[in-house]
Structure 1
Amino acid sequence: MRRKIPSTGALIAFEAAARHESFTRAAEELSLTQGAICRQIASLEEFVGVALFKRARRGVKLTDAGLSYSRQVASRLDAVERDTLSVMGHHAGGRSIELAVVPTFATRWLLPRLSDFLAGHPEASVNLSTRTRPFLFAETDFDAAIYFGDADWPGTQAHFLMHENPVPVCSPRLLPPGPHTAATLAEAPLLQQSTRPYAWRQWFETQGIRAARDLHGPRLELFSMLAQAAMHDMGVALIPPFLIQDELASGRLVVPVDATYDSGKAYYLMIPERKTEAALLGAFRHWLMAEIAAFVGAPADQSSSAANASSTRE
């Protein structure tokens, strides 16, 4: 059955006219005549059977239906443009990796090192998008993902990267002069991370403390948010030191109790089984594992061995 979809030209003309609320400016942007824009809009209104603009002497205004439709059309045209650029990037002589990655790990650890990989593969590009939870690779364009979890991701091969090892951090102004203990922190305001809701409870249990308010406090999604909140005296946060090296070195954040805990989870590179033989992705995996080994101080062969610990569940 034929799809009930207007012409692309009419949609592009409508999106430009809606954005500017002007047929004249839309015509200038698209290098068309004002009459051509008017005809495209008229044909679109006839197609959908709804008035999209109110015409007046001083110009045009979107109707309520036009405003709603323009938002939907704009988002879908943006998606088509992104998909087109992606196809062009894959098949115009260049190669790329579409990588989903947890946000703070991407900005604080991966991006400062990524130029080294690109220098060794000048024909390639690595496109990053943030995801904090598993998803179905078959329903996305992602080639791989770096995420924090337990590696139980169906249909993928999991390559262990490193543990998180978070420690309590806060502004030096928040607590009175030390020394401090886990019992001290049990009385302090605690900052919670929404993706690790039981982190403080696990930390206190490791220290042999039962804290009455271990699940209470502001909930923030990202480590970068936690770090900012902690620096502004909002409370104590559990953050991996490798993500806040600058803040710790400058003294904007301090570690009141130098103790961590094992959550049983870690950072992994997840590759869908259908992509495991991709050459560029394999080169990226080898580079990433070498960078991890150098960072944590592990021998290269040990890092390689850890990388081969994989999950291939269907």
Structure 2
Amino acid sequence: MIKNINSIQVFNVASETGNVTRAAQLLNISQSSVSYHIKKLETDLGYSLFRRTKQGLDLTEEGAVLASHVEKGLNMIQTGLERVANQAGSVKVALLPMFSSRWLSSRLGGLMELQPDLQLSMHNHNNSFARMHNPASFADLGIQWGKGNWNGFAVHRLWPEKLAVVCSPAYLATHPISRPKDLLLCNLLHVDDNRMWEEWLLMNGVKASATQAQMMLEDRHFQLSSTINGLGVSLFASWLVQEELKSGVLVNPFGRNFETSFAYYLIVPKGEKPSKPVEQFCDWMLKIRGTQAESVYGI
């Protein structure tokens, strides 16, 4: 039985830094105190937790097992403390910047009227929330683009999407596009990976070339500006680029949109029961999501 939680906290910092001096600095205690707590913990457990080397501290096999459980435990404690401290209604939301700016931001006023005590904390991510090692430490819930096949999350598709193939008028003038296979001669722009383009080409009877010109960009805002500036051809959820198509800075060479298995999802990490404020935000999102499909896709 461990009698002193301080030894656990010291072990956690030491395992993360691998250095007694650095751990002492972060904990604002002496190096001898760090060594004392580590030794005390090893004595209580009956195992060596670190190998002392010239470079610092290396976890033993037993130390690595303990470190993984300590990290999870301390994260759960932190989550509990935050929930108790924020009973007024704090919700951390992991957002995709383009989704946020073009859909969510204009609707948040309605949520604030319904839930005036709700405190929202927005955290941007580059479609990485579902792949984080510990997503619950980053946000209570998030918006993710993909196919919805993420383990460890409660997953809610917001609406079915249709994709538009778009490029700048200048790019189209130098790269004529009238048939799907014409895209094999174009530079295909994408974010995250090329799965969307692979699906689109397959659904339109085109075999992707191993030498296909393509460019991966950091986020959808950068992808949009790159497309407008004539770097290549992009796939976007059609509602995201309506204004650009209307103004003429982008064109849709096929004049129609395409079905896709990709969509935006509201996802909530599984584990502890969500707090009431998180449930309120989710209920609101899922209640108003139908307005998007009705206004854009007529479904």
Interval of TM-score (by shorter of Structure 1 and Structure 2): 0.5 to 0.7
Give the Cα separation in 2 of the matches to 1:215 and 1:106: 32
Structure 1 match to 2:276: 279
The one of 91, 99, 124 aligned to 2:93:
99
Residue identity in the other structure for 2:100:
A
Q: Residues 296, 139 of structure 1: CA spacing in aligned structure 2 closer, same or farther, 3 A cutoff?
A: closer
Structure 2 match to 1:196: 193
Give the Cα separation in 1 of the matches to 2:82 and 2:190: 42
Give the Cα separation in 2 of the matches to 1:200 and 1:273: 31
Give the Cα separation in 2 of the matches to 1:214 and 1:121: 53
The one of 98, 102, 108 aligned to 2:102:
108
The one of 272, 281, 288 aligned to 1:291:
288
Give the Cα separation in 2 of the matches to 1:109 and 1:295: 9
The answer as to whether partners of 2:184 and 2:208 remain within 8 angstroms in 1 is yes
Give the Cα separation in 1 of the matches to 2:249 and 2:210: 25
Q: Cα offset for 1:158?
A: 1.3
Q: Cα offset for 1:235?
A: 1.0
Per-residue CA shift, 1:58-108, capped at 9, x if unaligned? Answer: xxxxxxxxxxxxxxxxxxxxxxxxxx9xx7897366311111123322222
The one of 119, 127, 147 aligned to 2:144:
147
Residue identity in the other structure for 1:172:
P
Q: Cα offset for 1:263?
A: 4.6
Q: Does the residue aligned with 1:174 lie in a helix, a strand or coil?
A: helix
2:234 corresponds to 1:240: no
The answer as to whether partners of 1:99 and 1:143 remain within 8 angstroms in 2 is yes
Q: Cα offset for 1:119?
A: 2.2
Residue identity in the other structure for 1:217:
Q
Q: Cα offset for 1:214?
A: 7.3
Structure 2 match to 1:121: 115
TM-align CA RMSD: 3.6
| TM, length-normalised to structure 2 | 0.64
The answer as to whether partners of 2:165 and 2:234 remain within 8 angstroms in 1 is yes
Q: Cα offset for 1:232?
A: 0.5
The one of 182, 185, 198 aligned to 2:183:
185
Give the Cα separation in 2 of the matches to 1:250 and 1:97: 37
Map of 1:121-270 to 2, 5 A cutoff?
121-131=115-125, 132-133=127-128, 134=130, 135-137=132-134, 140-176=137-173, 180-193=178-191, 195-212=192-209, 215-270=212-267
| TM, length-normalised to structure 1 | 0.61
Q: Does the residue aligned with 2:143 lie in a helix, a strand or coil?
A: strand
The answer as to whether partners of 1:186 and 1:214 remain within 8 angstroms in 2 is no
**Structure 2: runs of 5+ lacking an equivalent:** 1-6, 11-19, 34-77
Per-residue CA shift, 1:92-143, capped at 9, x if unaligned? Answer: 6631111112332222222222222122211112212123121244661521
